[in-house]
Amino acid sequence: MTSVVYYVKGCSTTSFEKLLEKLDLSFISPNEFVAIKTHFGEENNITFISPEVYLPLVKILKQKNCLAYFTDTNTIYRGKRANAVEHLILASKHKFDINFLGIPVIIADGLKGNDYVEVEISLNYFEKAKIASSIYYSDILICLSHFKGHILFGFAGTIKNLGMGCAARPAKYLLHNVLKPKVDTTKCTACGICVKVCPAEALKIENKKVVMIVEKCVGCGECIHVCEKRVFSIPWDLSYKEVQERTVEYAYAAIKNKKKCLFINFLDNITKDCDCINKKQEVLAKDIGIVAGFDPVSVDFCSLKIVNDYFKKDIFKELWKEIDYNPQIEYAVKIGLGKKEYSIVEV
Ligand code: SF4
Ligand code: SF4
């Protein structure tokens, strides 16, 4: 049997309202905890999905008298989302707060990201996964994802948002740690920016060049993002494949104990990089549409096809030539997270 995926053209509030009308949300009951997992956007990022678009969903959830809240987890890099205090301040700056949304915002893995529950999964990479506790203890998970490019995943949608996004901060180190950047110091100007952002104190300046202490590196990739001289690069072997597969195992863990989950991808503000990037990014396409369903794999796979059809080419392959995005899909199918086969209902 194939999974059913719902699609509406355009990403406005009106489009989202139309899509929500088609979805059977009768599984949500009064007094149930409903975690709405999304991304509040890093500082200076302006291409995350605006909270305004999400208001029709909030309206429905309030009518159902459930205990709904927006949530995300802390990051391992030193941006403005590495602890709950700064994370909530930034979220509020981006209008993710109770005043604007009408429901609370909770950082799922707590003040410093150490608040998690170990979920038994017994898969290839992990016996147990450290899932952010608020998400773990919620009855229902609604995952709202911005569909766009990503340095390690090629594209990032529901699977990435579930796996990396529901992992508590310590688990994010485990997900990334196969990735140690290659270093070519020829062009290093010793500006020190990478040293400041490295969360593991794995970088220092010596003799006017950067030096990496490899044993300390946790593979977060921040130095690759911030160094404009391209001193750091991803080791283009199979490490990205393993990061993708590890993340898929976490996606599996995030939804394992849920009564039911709903997955929604917003195909809007398509950018090369993700919303964790602390700068304005070029928007390659806007307002394509919204894809929803109850199978995270088919929602991502369908979104990929719609975006590629829009560009009339494999856009994420073109943006990230060295990255194969398929492992996240293939491994998700292999461990039973969902199916690639889907039938589409156009709203
Ligand atoms: S950011 Fe780049 S140029 Fe600056 S110190 Fe680090 S490696 Fe060198
Ligand atoms: S060296 Fe780079 S990849 Fe390693 S922990 Fe520091 S910032 Fe992250």
pLDDT in tens, 135-187: 999 999 999 999 999 988 999 999 999 999 999 988 887 887 777 888 999 99
* Of the candidates 240, 262, 243, the residue with the CA atom closest to the CA atom of residue 68: 262
CATH topology of domain 3-174+238-346: Rossmann fold (3.40.50)
State residue 219's pLDDT score: 79
Q: CA of 147: how far to CAs of 107, 215, 252, 303, in Å?
A: 22, 34, 19, 8
Most informative mutation of 184, 185, 189 for ligand 1 (most atoms within 8 A of CB): 189
- List every span in the chain annotated with CATH 3.30.70.20: 180-233
3-state SS of 84-135? HHHHHHHHHHCCCCHHHHCCCEEECCCCCCCCEEEEECCCCCCCEEEEEHHH
- Buried b vs exposed e over 266-305: b needs ≥16 C-beta within 10 Å? bbbbbbbbbbbbbeebeebeeebbbbbbbbbbbbbbbbbe
Q: Whose alpha carbon is nearest atom 6 of ligand 1?
A: 194
Q: Is the reported ipTM for this assembly greater than 0.90?
A: yes
Pairwise CA distance, residues 219 & 113, whole Å: 18
Give the closest ligand to the alpha carbon of residue 223.
Answer: 2
Average pLDDT of span 115-134: 97
State residue 199's pLDDT score: 83
Pairwise CA distance, residues 235 & 178, whole Å: 10
Cα 75 to ligand 2 centroid, rounded to whole Å = 13
| Residues within a 6 A CB radius of ligand 2 | 181, 198-200, 202-203, 212, 217-223
From first CA to last CA, the distance across the chain in angstroms is 21
Cα 223 to ligand 2 centroid, rounded to whole Å = 6
State residue 202's pLDDT score: 94
> CB atoms < 10 A from the CB of 237, how many?
11
Q: Is 135 exposed, middle or buried (0-12, 13-18, 19+ CB in 10 A)?
A: buried
pLDDT in tens, 247-258: 999 999 999 999
State residue 46's pLDDT score: 85
Answer yes or no: are the C-beta atoms of 179 and 219 closer than 8 Å: yes
Average pLDDT of span 57-84: 92
DSSP state for residue 309 in the 8-state scheme: H
Identity of the residue numbered 233 = S
* Of the candidates 213, 178, 168, the residue with the CA atom closest to the CA atom of residue 73: 168
Beta-bridged to residue 148, according to DSSP, are 156
Q: Whose alpha carbon is nearest atom 2 of ligand 2?
A: 223
Average pLDDT of span 232-252: 86
Most informative mutation of 194, 213, 233 for ligand 1 (most atoms within 8 A of CB): 194
Give helix 239-256 / helix 326-334 axis angle, nearest 10°.
40
Cα 8 to ligand 2 centroid, rounded to whole Å = 40
Cα 253 to ligand 2 centroid, rounded to whole Å = 26
Structure tokens of 184? 């070519």
Ligand 1 within 6 A of 35 CB? no
Using 50, 70 and 90 to split pLDDT, how confident is the model at 58? very high
Give the closest ligand to the alpha carbon of residue 205.
Answer: 1
Ligand 1 within 6 A of 189 CB? yes
Tell me the pLDDT of the chain averaged across its residues. 93
> CB atoms < 10 A from the CB of 66, how many?
19
- List every span in the chain annotated with CATH 3.40.50.11440: 3-174+238-346
Q: Residue 199, by phi and psi: left (phi above 0), alpha (psi -120 to 50) or beta?
A: alpha
Ligand 1 within 6 A of 192 CB? yes
How many CA within 13 A on the CB side of residue 320?
A: 22
Q: Which CATH number fits domain 180-233: 3.30.1330.60, 3.40.50.300, 3.40.50.450, 3.30.70.20?
A: 3.30.70.20
State residue 76's pLDDT score: 79
